[in-house]
Amino acid sequence: MMMNTKMMMGARYQVKTDKPNKLIYISFDELDDTTINYPPAKEKEDDCSPTTKLNEEDASCNDTEDTLDISTIQQSIPDSVLQYERQMRKIRAADRASKTNVNPEDHLHIIHKDDHIVVTNKPSGILCVPGVNKNRSLLDLVFEMNNGDEGEERSSEDKLAKDSMIVHRLDMDTSGIVIFARTRDAMSELHKAFRERTGTKKKYEALLVGRLDINKWIESQDDDHTNKVISDTTNLGGGEINLPLQRDHRHPPFMRVSTPESESEAQLAVKDLNSAGYKKLMAKKPKASTTQFRVLSHEHWRGHPVTRVELTPITGRKVRVRFFDNVL
């Protein structure tokens, strides 16, 4: 398999391309991958920023016109503004959850039910499980249905408590398949299957703003600009994103892509808190997170071009899908 590697946008990302199969692979350069243990980095020399790493042939401390450092753009927004926006999103979501009349007729769509499990098609706009405000959720509907079924002879020992029926969950604005357990044996087996990734596979569909053209992306990485990618409407391409994620120490409980700089800041923050008396606090190490994606179609939504992609989480953090949507 022929692959071409090139630094992306002059930043610490690198892109490998597989032209015959129309695939791209996005990751960090090994020196910037915080999941790999390296000796302490050397001090910066002169005014060269470590985030403007280019290929050797065009690397220069003074030649950074065409580089784009994503972290610099993010840091240009004041922390107070970012925190305010995050808090407002939480408030708006909580307000919607409290005002939604969650009822079986509109929100309980059962696609399979047997003695052991209930499989539902969760609509967007309702909670999968009650939040901190105990708003009504899909779990409430399933639990009420489970306890109210007539004609089923089940002992009280077989009936699960409401919280025990939870196997996995989806975000409030995400629609899709959700499985609930009806017995303890089913709960145990499903938890094991999801935990060990045996017999279960998650796939997500997302609409990305803009047109994600894999052909143009691959061609842009081709230094000699030979042999354009063959256009094929049946295969719009795809790829894999492999980036380390960590808890955002500035804005917990949110997550962020881990960089050498953010990891150093997190370690320093924990050290300061330990000195202030939080002796048991430990910084969690960044975790590798891999998601594969496939372009399904190019569409228009409300007059704007969008790209429908299928995402398959492979490893890592639970919020990686939203992160990697942003990367694309």
Catalytic site positions: 171
Closest CA to 181 of 134, 115, 128: 115
74-79, Cβ contacts within 8 angstroms, sequence gap of 24 or more: 79/250, 79/251
Distance CA 286, CA 158 (A): 41
Largest CA distance in the chain: 79
Q: Taking a C-beta distance cutoff of 8 angstroms, is the pair 50, 57 a contact?
A: no
- Rounded to 5°, the CA angle 289-291-296 comes to 165
The Cβ of residue 255 has, within 10 Å, a number of other Cβ atoms equal to 19
Please classify residue 96 by burial: count the beta carbons closer than 10 Å to its beta carbon, then call 0-12 exposed, 13-18 middle and 19+ buried. Answer: middle
Distance, in Å, from the CA atom of 183 to the CA atom of 65, rounded to the nearest integer, reads: 62
- DSSP string computed for 165-216: GB-----TT--EEEEEESSHHHHHHHHHHHHHTSS----EEEEEES---HHH
